[in-house]
Amino acid sequence: MAESTDRGWLESKLLADGEEPDPRFTLANERTFLAWIRTALAFLAGGIALEAFAADVFADPYRTIISVLTIGVGLLISLGAAARWLHVERSLRRRRPLPMPLIIPVLSFASGVAMAVVILLVVIS
C-alpha cells in the first residue's frame, strides 16, 4: 500500500518510515493493546478496592503496601502495552519480524513479587 502523506505531527514522529500495513494487522495490534489496557484497569481497580475495603483483612501499613504494588503492576502493564503497540506497529510498517514480547516476562516477575509480598504479609499478620 502507498504511504499516506497527510499524517499528523504525532503520527509522523512515531511512525515516520515504512509503508502502511494491512489494516487488519493494525487493528489486531490495537485490539491487543486494548486487552492489555483492560488488564491494567483491572489492576488499578483492584488496588483501589484493596485500600478502600480490605481494612479488616490487612493492617493499615500492609494494606497500603499491597494496594500500591497492585496499582504499580497496573501502571507497568499500561506502559508496557503502549511500548508493545508502538514496537509492533513499527515492525509491521517496516515489514520486519515482530519483536519479542518483553512485557510478558516483566509482568510475570512483577506479579510473582507482588504475590510473594501478599503471602508474606498474610503470614505475618
Question: Hey, where are the domains in the chain?
Answer: 22-124
18-50 tens-digit pLDDT: 888 899 999 999 999 999 999 999 999 999 999
For residues 32 and 85, the answer to whether their CB atoms sit within 8 Å is yes
Q: What is the pLDDT of residue 109?
A: 87
pLDDT for res 28: 95
State whether residue 22 is helix, strand or coil.
coil
CA separation for the pair 109, 66 (Å, rounded):
16
CB 43 within 8 A of CB 19: no
3-state secondary structure of 82: helix
The cell numbers describing 62, all together, are 500492609
For the entire predicted model, the pTM comes to: 0.78
pLDDT score of 57 more than 90: no
